[in-house]
A and B are shown apart, each in its own frame.
Chain A
Amino acid sequence: MEDLTYTHTAPRPAGGTRPMAIIGVVASGNLEVLAERVLPDAECRVEIRTAAEGFGDVWNAVIADFVERHSPGGIKFSINDGGARPDTVALRLAQAVRLLEVTP
């Protein structure tokens, strides 16, 4: 197992008002993303525990793109990863951000 953490500044806070969102399931090729609105508005952090070791570079690229595209300011993302492909990771992160905007 590998633990990775990425911290970014985000130009805008994440949309919506929900304090928490969770999406996905930990299984082969899949991942769960827990999004918590617990950080200062301009900060974003992604903590990953992954079964697939040695892909730090790819995670870095995926998360950098995600932060640039969606600006999830104020959100801490915690990920349990079952070896998902980068595009699945990108999709789940985008879904998590959208869920934070959905009125409960």
Chain B
Amino acid sequence: MTRNWQQAREARSARIESGAKLAKGKIVEAHNITSLLEAVVRPGDRVCLEGDNQKQADLLSSALLAVDRAKVHDLHMVQSGVVLPEHLDLFERGVAKKLDFAYSGPQSARIAAMLFGGKIELGAVHTYLELFARYFIDLTPNVALIAAVSADRDGNLYTGPNTEDTPTIVEATAFKDGIVIAQVNAIVDRVPRVDIPADRVHFIVAADKPFFVEPLFTRDPAAITEGQILTAMLAIKGVYAPYGVKRLNHGIGFDTAAIELLLPTYGERLGLKGKVATRFALNPHPALIPAIESGWVEQIHSFGSEVGMENYIRARPDIYFTGSDGSLRSNRAFSQTAGLYACDMFIGSTLQIDLQGNSSTVTASRVSGFGGAPNMGADARGRRHPSEPWLQAGREADPDGSPLLRRGRKLVVQIGETFGDKNVPLFVEKLDAIALAEKLKLDLAPVMIYGDDVTHIVTEEGIANLLLCRNAAEREQAIRGVAGYTDVGRGRDAKMVQRLRERGAIHRPEDLGIDPLDADRSMLAARSIKDLVHWSGGLYAPPSKFRNW
């Protein structure tokens, strides 16, 4: 018997034939989408329902939720983000059974409850890049339900500023005998640029409203506190400057927003323009506008877009990646790769840090996933090209090693105030993630960034340089030494902390010549959303929830 080597291909052709009955060419009417899905999706399929970090294929989510469960059931969902309620309703209804994902921000409480209640069979929680990688090896989607801005009648798609995960999803699906179905805001004669070529797209549907997308990367400067400003000054003077960090990624948060807003003022005063923070793997943060306008930034590659920034980006193509149509071209897979290998520093905030420096955003009742942070907040051991900051960090980590065999280290910085929201301490003896892992019987506790990858911890009390710590005991005291008046901080060995400070493993603001009177909101280049609009020359158009005009 000779083997049939075309099985998957033939199966796809059969599905397309079924679906074609409901389409004119590739175009399907919105009211026929559920029927289309019943025609092309098979029970147990691996389905990627585009739940990116930002955009959501919301029409297709609702349509999938409405299928006849006799025809479509027990699906294995593989998607970056579990964001819409419908994404979890699929499991309640029995349309879906198994889940592999990377991020679940808005659904973190419900997903935890459903995991614990046995309503979802969990494959694994991934980082974005990890999940994308598995799309090509063992999680290849049979069906991809994606979102685009527009399509022409041939099926060429324009995904626009929020291109995000789409090219990666389509690459894996279309070239491995999968089916790609796209919801679009409009069907047009000619797309502004071709983000996804037509031969990878099988069916298109025009939705009656634009796909769901929310601003996730806008931080109102009005909310930045003096403590965050002091912490940001410490980071700039105590990490960015001495290592000369030019290529970097900022995790989203108010601490990094404060850094972005201090570059044109405090950074300028320190004479750092052109010497630090010139090239970013970063979403289009509005808070970076003053630094861009002041000439600090040479280039930014983005994972996705940000609502309200479209016209600003169009007017700054020297900075951002844009298509021939003028709009942003984002790409999460490539930006994640850039953050992994082409950046010398990751800096971001977290919810809890333990005595080894492990950090987690997980609490006992929420599973929020990893997103991209572990990918960027980790030493990239496959890296080979040198850079000054990388080599310097490597020297600090291994001063006695043989120079020619001594790899550099990526700077992985955790930043935050010792007491966070609702005065909950940042530093803990034991991460809640461990309790969650026990409760859900996970193989691994969901740690965002591992202590052995962390190089620095920055709080308002000071900077702990873990590279200069020789052993676990020193590392613990260095962490306690910047943990302020939390229980962890107050449990410090004062003598050991003093020795670490003398050695430079701990720096206090006064050691760096930072004046506490400078920890003032007048140091921010922009103090309100309106200021950001002003800096952008009126190009930035904040969504109404951020405006009082």
Contacts and interface: CB of A to CB of B under 8 A. Distances in A.
A42 interface: no
Interface in A31-84: 58, 61-62, 69
B510 interface: yes
A88 B231 CA distance: 12
A88 B227 contact: yes
Given A61-B490, A69-B510, A91 B485 contact: no
B408 to A, nearest CB: 33
A95 interface: yes
A86 B418 CA distance: 9
B417 A87 contact: yes
A18 interface: no
Interface stretch (B55-63, B380-388, B466-474, B512-520): B512-520
Contacts, number: 38
A99 interface: yes
Contacts of B517: 95, 98-99, 102
B484 interface: yes
Nearest to A98: B517
A85 B226 contact: no
B230 interface: yes
A100 B423 CA distance: 30
A20 interface: no
Interface size class of B (residues with CB under 8 A): 10 to 19
A95 B510 CA distance: 12
Interface in B216-243: 226-227, 230
A26 interface: no
B334 interface: no
B136 interface: no
A87 B516 contact: no
A86 B483 CA distance: 11
B485 to A, nearest CB: 4
Given A87-B419, A87-B461, A91-B516, A61 B227 contact: no
Given A61-B490, A69-B510, A87 B485 contact: yes
Interface in B438-475: 460-461
B227 A95 contact: no
A88 B417 CA distance: 10
B173 to A, nearest CB: 50
Contact of B515 (A58, A85, A98): A98
A87 B419 CA distance: 8
Contact of A86 (B484, B508, B515): B484
A61 B510 contact: no
A94 interface: yes
Given A69-B510, A86-B485, A98-B516, A91 B230 contact: yes
Interface in B418-437: 418-419, 423
Contacts of A99: 517
Contact of A87 (B484, B490, B508, B510): B484
Given A69-B510, A98-B516, A91 B227 contact: yes
Nearest to B417: A87
Nearest to B486: A86
B485 A61 contact: yes
B313 to A, nearest CB: 36
A91 B419 contact: no
Contacts of A69: 508, 510
B418 A87 contact: yes
Contact of A91 (B226, B490, B508, B510): B226
A23 to B, nearest CB: 9
Nearest to A70: B510
Interface string B479-493: 000001100001000
Interface string B143-184: 000000000000000000000000000000000000000000
B460 A87 contact: yes
Nearest to A102: B517
Contacts of B519: 91, 95
A91 B484 contact: no
Contacts of A87: 227, 417-419, 460-461, 484-485
Contacts of A98: 515-517
A102 B515 CA distance: 12
Given A87-B417, A87-B484, A94 B516 contact: yes
A33 to B, nearest CB: 12
B423 A95 contact: no
A23 B12 CA distance: 72
Nearest to A88: B227
Interface string B307-330: 000000000000000000000000
Interface of A: 58, 61-62, 69, 85-88, 91, 94-95, 98-99, 102
20 contacts: A58-B485, A61-B490, A62-B485, A69-B510, A85-B417, A85-B423, A86-B484, A86-B485, A87-B227, A87-B417, A87-B460, A87-B461, A87-B484, A91-B227, A91-B230, A91-B519, A94-B516, A95-B516, A98-B515, A98-B516
Closest 10 CB pairs of A and B: A86-B485, A94-B516, A85-B419, A95-B516, A98-B517, A87-B460, A87-B484, A58-B485, A95-B517, A87-B418
Given A87-B419, A91-B230, 8 more contacts: A58-B485, A85-B417, A85-B419, A86-B419, A87-B461, A88-B227, A94-B516, A98-B516
